[in-house]
Structure formats: structure tokens, C-alpha cells
Structure 1
Amino acid sequence: MRTLMIGVLLHAKHMSRSPFEIAIALVVPIVQATLAVYLFRAAGEPHRLIEAAVGAGLMGVWSTVLFGSGGAIQNQRWQGTLEMIMLAPRRPVAVLLPITVATAVTGTYALLATLLWGRLLYGIRLEFAHPPAFLAAVAACVAGLGMFGLLLASVFVLMRNANALANPLDYPVWLLSGMLVPISVLPSWTLPLAAILPTTWGARAVREAVSGGPVWPSVALCLAISTACLALGAYCLTSFERRARAAGTLALS
């Protein structure tokens, strides 16, 4: 736990020194919130603007985790420190989990920014049916995203060009998770895919805390699937590390 907390703090500080990370964190949530508000207004559903703001914020958190987790691994490879991380006297999951959790924690700014943007510019009333449950749902969603990010980051340890795999996952995952569009409007064959994603249940828990639905079952499912992602990510990291060391692909050349 001490390693996790110190690692999260250090990586969050590292991300705060990156002009690119700061620019993305400042611009993307505002653009997504603006698009979401106008889409819901055009659909004649102004009463759901708070859900649109929350959904756009979760989209920003997911984007931060997706690109931040993999980008952190790639940065370690570019700087020549990935080999030392993999050779550290700790399991790879203990070293890389703080990085993915830090990206998720940093991504919560996207949620705060969209809510503040919607309130100041569009006059959205920030009324939550269950305020304490909303905070718990956001915490569970952030934890789930961090563990899911660990599973995705393990691919970057094995593959030097894993960006080609991560880039197409941004929009499909938030669509399948129902962050902005209800899952019920998606094709029926997508429902099993949505059910195994921790982001689906995390987003549902946050949305139900806003609208007044049953929050805790979704929180429990989110945490259960996230724990499975953590276990699978730890296994994949150990396996991929061995394969990468055998193939000599931890370094750029």
C-alpha cells in the first residue's frame, strides 16, 4: 500500500509537468461537455443535461486512463528505464499499478471540469439524488478504470507499437459502457461485451447516483470485475515481461 500511494503521488506529479498532458486535460473535457450538452438539447431532453455532463466527464476520465497508462509505459521505453522497472525487486504489478491508478485519479479533473463548465456556461443545476453515493460511485469507477488500465498497459510491455491497438479503443469502450449513450439503444450482440467491462458498471453507478436509481449493486459489480482485471493484469504483466525479455523487445532497439 505504501508503494502504491507513493507511486501514485510521484506519477501524478510527473504528469503535471507535461505540457501535452495538461493541454489534453484542459481542452478535451470542455469540448466533450459542450458536444454532449448540445446533443441532448437538440434531442429535446434538457432535463438530462446533468447526466450529459457526468457522462462527458467519465469519457474524459477513460481517455486519460487509456492514453495515459499506455503512454507512461511507452515513455519508460523511450527513456530506457523500462528494463530497470521490469528488473526491480518487486512484482511488475506493484510497480505499474501506481502509474495506471495515477492516470485515473488525474482524470477525475475531467469530471470536475465538465460539471463546472456545464454549471457556469449552460446553467446546469448540479443536483444529485444521492450525493454520498455519487462520491462512492465515482471512487469505484476511478478504481475500476485504474485496474482496467493496468490490463491494457500490460500489452505495451510486450508490444512496442501497442498504440495501434489502444487508439481504436477510445470511442468503442465509452459507447459500450453507456457513458453518454444508453446501452439499450445499441445492438443486442454488444450487450455481453458491455457486461464484462468494469467501465459499464462504474458509469451506471455514477448515473444512478445522479438520477436516483440503485447505486450499490452496480458499485459491487464494478469492483468485482475490476478485481478480476487486476488479477488478469498481474498475470499478463508477468507473462508478457518474460516474453519481452526473451525476445529482447523491452528496449526500442
Structure 2
Amino acid sequence: MSRLRQLWVCYRLQLKVMMFSPFEGFLAVVFPLMFATAALLVYRVNNDPEAMLFAGIGAAAMGIFTSQTTSAAMLVQRERRAGTLELVVAAPTPFAYVLLPSTFAMATLGLYSVVAVILWDWWLFDLPLQVENWPGFVLSILMATFTIALFGFLLSVTVVRYRTAWALGSALEYPGWLLCGFVVPLSLLPGWALPLSWALAPTWGVAAMRASAAGESPWFELAVCLGVGLAYAVLAAWLGVRLIDSARRNATLALT
């Protein structure tokens, strides 16, 4: 119970910080609408309703992914700049139990983008969302959010040793949109890029969203999405211990 309370407190506090942060608030509120507008303006040229719906669903998921890449990469860096990273690492609570609820808070804020983009598409482009399987669609959104949070957890752990972690997160944002098939079909990607796409949980999450919208079964995509996300969590937990131990041995944790 004490561990669950600690996770809840970290999650709630991080969510409050993000909601009242000017940068995080702008990123969460404005960016998803900008990205959705740009994507749908491109697709509207051909006047293809199916393509517009494809892009609209992908654009709704882009906001969740965007809420993780740059923010999760900067998570440890913010602690380092504030001079609290050493205290967090030295605390009895495992380092992973501090990062994990923080990335889930970021993903929770990213859920706003799904609703906002759907309403934005309907209001600006007259593109109502047509969903045949609403329970599967909602479950797919939640699964995509869950696994993207675990991807952010892995990213935040991986960059603990780097000064310019924010740059790595920003560099992953736009290639991730392509590799996950948010606005471009995976069939248009070169063959060597497909294994990279399959290794990204959001690829399967957005595929499940589209399958549910079309009235098809999303269960295979959901199962793969969950499996890949849990692999992220296991790898991040293992890396967290190894990287922190290495930083302690080499006295490189501060990296200011």
C-alpha cells in the first residue's frame, strides 16, 4: 500500500506541475491542433474522405506521442538543473518508481489531444469521426496511452547519462510520426524501416484505433501493443539500475 501511495503522489504532483507549466501547457494544448491541421490540409488536396479519416485518427494519437518524447527526455535533465537529481537517486525509493508515474502523468495530459483533435477536425474540416466499434476504439486509445507512457519511461531512463537529452527527445518526435504510421501508411515506408515500426508500441496502438473505427477486430493489435509496452517497462527497469550504478561508480551523475 505504501508503494501504491508513493506512485499516486508522484503521479498527482507531476500532473499538477505540467498543468501549471507555461511550456508544458502550450505544448499540450496548441501543438496537437497545429499538427492535425497541417496533416489534414495535406490530405484534403485529393478530397478523399477515407484518407482524411485515416489522417484524422493518426493525428489524434500524435499528441500523446508528442507529450512523451521531448518531455520524457527532459525529465531527468530538469531534476539535474534543479539540483535534486542526486537526492532522488539517493532516496530509498527506487529511481524507476519516481520516473514511471511522471511519464504516466505526461501521457494523461496527452489524452486531451485525442478529444481536442477529434473536435477540431469536426469543427474546422467538417470531418466527423465515424467509429463502428466504440468500446474497442476507447480501449485502443487507453492502450496506446499506456504503452506510450512506458516508452517515455524507457526514454527517460536511457538519457540519464547525457547532458543534451532534450535534443534526443526532439529528434525522435518527427521520425516517430512516420515510423508509427500516424499520418503516412506503413506500406509507403521502405522495407528496412518496417522492423523499426513494429518495435514501436504506438504503431500497434494506432492500428487498433483504425481497426475499431472500421468495425474490425482490434485484439491482435492490442495484444502486440501490450506486449511491446511491457518489454519497454522490463528493459527500462533493468537499464535504470545499471545506468545509475555506473553513474555512481564514475561520479558522472551530475553532468552539469
Could you say which TM-score interval applies, normalised by the shorter chain?
over 0.9
Deviation at 1:252, TM superposition (A): 4.3
**2:184 pairs with 1:165:** no
Once the two structures are superposed, residues 63-116 of structure 1 have per-residue CA deviations (whole angstroms, 9 ceiling, x without a partner) of 111111122221111111111111121222111100111111111111111111
Separation of aligned partners in 2, 1:17 and 1:249: 32
Counterpart for residue 200 of structure 1: 203
The secondary structure found in structure 2 opposite 1:111 is helix
- Is the contact between residue 59 and residue 182 of structure 2 (CA under 8 Å) also seen in structure 1? yes
- Is the contact between residue 35 and residue 59 of structure 2 (CA under 8 Å) also seen in structure 1? yes
The secondary structure found in structure 1 opposite 2:30 is helix
**4+ residue runs over 3 A deviation:** none
Counterpart for residue 137 of structure 1: 140
Counterpart of 2:244 (choices 241, 244, 253) is 241
Structure 1 alignment gaps of length 5 or more: none
Counterpart of 1:179 (choices 172, 179, 182) is 182
**2:57 pairs with 1:67:** no
Amino acid at match of 2:143: A
Amino acid at match of 1:33: A
- Is the contact between residue 51 and residue 210 of structure 1 (CA under 8 Å) also seen in structure 2? no
Separation of aligned partners in 2, 1:97 and 1:208: 29
TM-score (norm 2): 0.94
Separation of aligned partners in 1, 2:109 and 2:20: 13
**2:61 pairs with 1:26:** no
Counterpart of 2:128 (choices 108, 112, 125) is 125
- Is the contact between residue 204 and residue 224 of structure 2 (CA under 8 Å) also seen in structure 1? yes
Separation of aligned partners in 2, 1:70 and 1:168: 10
- Is the contact between residue 72 and residue 169 of structure 2 (CA under 8 Å) also seen in structure 1? no
Amino acid at match of 1:128: V
Counterpart for residue 214 of structure 1: 217
Instruction: Select between 85-94 and 43-52 the one with higher mean Cα deviation.
Output: 43-52
Counting aligned pairs with the same residue, the percent is 36
Separation of aligned partners in 2, 1:86 and 1:66: 22
Instruction: Select between 177-186 and 211-220 the one with higher mean Cα deviation.
Output: 211-220
Amino acid at match of 1:164: A
Once the two structures are superposed, residues 194-235 of structure 1 have per-residue CA deviations (whole angstroms, 9 ceiling, x without a partner) of 111111111111121122222111011101110010000001
Instruction: Select between 227-236 and 243-252 the one with higher mean Cα deviation.
Output: 243-252
TM-score (norm 1): 0.95
Counterpart of 2:81 (choices 73, 78, 81) is 78
Amino acid at match of 1:178: G
Separation of aligned partners in 1, 2:42 and 2:8: 39
Structure 2 alignment gaps of length 5 or more: none
Counterpart for residue 53 of structure 1: 56
Instruction: Select between 130-139 and 29-38 the one with higher mean Cα deviation.
Output: 29-38
Counterpart for residue 96 of structure 1: 99
- Is the contact between residue 103 and residue 146 of structure 1 (CA under 8 Å) also seen in structure 2? yes
Deviation at 1:21, TM superposition (A): 0.9
Amino acid at match of 1:42: V
Deviation at 1:49, TM superposition (A): 2.5
Amino acid at match of 2:127: I
Separation of aligned partners in 1, 2:250 and 2:164: 15
How many residue pairs match? The answer is 253
Counterpart for residue 151 of structure 1: 154
Instruction: Select between 45-54 and 175-184 the one with higher mean Cα deviation.
Output: 45-54
